[in-house]
Every structure is written in C-alpha cells, then in structure tokens.
Amino acid sequence: ASVWAVVGGTTLGREARAIGGALAAGDLEVARERLPHLCGRDPQSLDGPAMARAVVESVAENTSDAVVGALFWGAVAGVPGLVGFRAVNTLDAMVGHRSPRYRRFGWASARLDDLAGWPGARLTAALATVAGGNPRGAARAWRADASKHPSPNAGPVEASFAGALGVRLGGTLSYGGRVEHRPVLNGEGRTVEVADVERAVALSRRVTALTLAACVGGRLIADAVRHKKHGKRGNA
C-alpha cells in the first residue's frame, strides 16, 4: 500500500496522455487547464509545441522523482526509505524555490532533495539509455548536455530522454512569471511533436519496469547474502 501511495507512475502517464490527447485534438485551452497538474510552468505563455515539450520534460523528470527514486530508496531502506524520499521530494516542491519567505529553509530542502535524488536520477538516465530506441544517441546527449542543466539531477534524466527519443529539450520557459533560458539538450534532435508525448510515456513505463526488476532482484540478493552470513555464524 505504501508503494502505491508514493509511486506516481500511473498518475504521471494518465496526466501526460490527457494533455497529449487535448493537443492532438487541437484543444489548447483544455491542455492549458491540465498542464499545471503535471508541472509548474505558466500554461498561458505556451503554444501547442511548447506544451508538448513541457510534458515530455515533465515525464522524464517525474519518472526519476516520483518513480525510480522512490523505488531505489525503498529497495535500500524499505518502506521508511521510500516514504522518507517522497517526504524530502514534497518538501522541496513546497518551499525549495527561492523566495524571500523561504530563502534559507528552501535552500536547505533543495540541497537535501538533490542529494536524495542523485542515485535515482543516474539510474533513470542509465535505464532510459538502455530502454530507449537510440542507446547511442541517449548516451551521447547525457554525456554532452547533462551538466548544462541548472539541476544536477534533472540534467542527466532529461538529456538521456531527449537522446533516446531523438528530440530537443530545454530552451526558454516561464515559471511564475519568471522567464528562464535553459540550455538546449540534444541539439541534434528535432522539435518535440504531440506524438512524442506517448513515446515519452512508453519509455517511462519501460524504465519503471526495469527499475522494479532491478530493485526486487537487489533485495533478493541482499537477503540471500544476509541469510548466508547468519547461517555461517550459527554453524560456527
């Protein structure tokens, strides 16, 4: 029950597909209404292609934050680790952005979130490289562009997804009225299209399945090694 409470893979895919469906139907207003359910960008400032790019980037980043990172810490420390990771992630989402009111507290929560998310982000990027349709392109984009991103964890994830899908991510975006000009990830790729939303969701699901298999396998191996050690001590 705790796993389903904190792992948002199903919700992530559903929201992304809802926006993608609205974009495919040409209903930009519905897409703008639903976009805040997925990310914090200003929907009124985005046209159709920009919203499609925002959805793909959010699917990539949330695959790491809401799914892989939680499963990783669940495998390492059980339910407490899984719930603790989501608590840190939620705290950063609430107060991690800089503001006069939460500047010191928000900085600390953001750094803690960076530390907690570091292993999950690298695992997500590695599995996206393996599970995507273009492993060489994903690895190249990860290596060349990840460090350009202002987030140490979103960079590897978004770059690997961009390379795997063959699209360009990054560029100009707006948060809460503040415009940011982020570096382009996988500049050799093409512009994101509406159909890429479904491709990003499918890649996210493959990454989730591989993560689950790796975490379950890791726990089984760790338990087997632990039992073996205890058995040797008991025989001694």
- Tens digits of residue pLDDT in 54-85: 999 999 999 999 899 988 998 888 888 888 88
Full-model pTM: 0.89
Are 9 and 63 a contacting pair, CB within 8 Å?
A: yes
Residue 104 pLDDT: 52
Residue 180 pLDDT: 81
DSSP β-bridge partners for residue 178: 175
Are 20 and 52 a contacting pair, CB within 8 Å?
A: yes
Residue 196 pLDDT: 98
Give buried/exposed letters for 114-151 (b at 16+ CB in 10 A, else e). bebbebbbbbbbbbbbebbebeebbbbbbeebbeebeb
**Cα–Cα dist 29/150, whole Å:** 30
Sign of the CA dihedral with 116 first, then 117, 118, and 119 last = positive
- Per the structure, the complete domain to which residue 225 belongs is given by 2-235
**Cα–Cα dist 236/230, whole Å:** 10
What does residue 208 show for φ and ψ, rounded to 5 degrees? -60, -45
Amino acid at the residue 157: V
**In sequence order, what are the residues at sequence separation of 6 or more whose Cβ sits closer than 8 angstroms to the Cβ of residue 53?**
167, 169, 171, 191, 192
CB atoms within 10 A of CB 159: 31
Element holding 173 (H helix, E strand): strand 172-175
Map tokens 């989402």 to a residue. Answer: 93
What is the number of structural domains in the chain?
Answer: 1
Q: What share of the chain is helix, strand, coil (3-state, %, to 5)?
A: 75, 5, 20
Q: Which residues of the chain have pLDDT under 70?
A: 1-7, 92-108, 176, 232-236
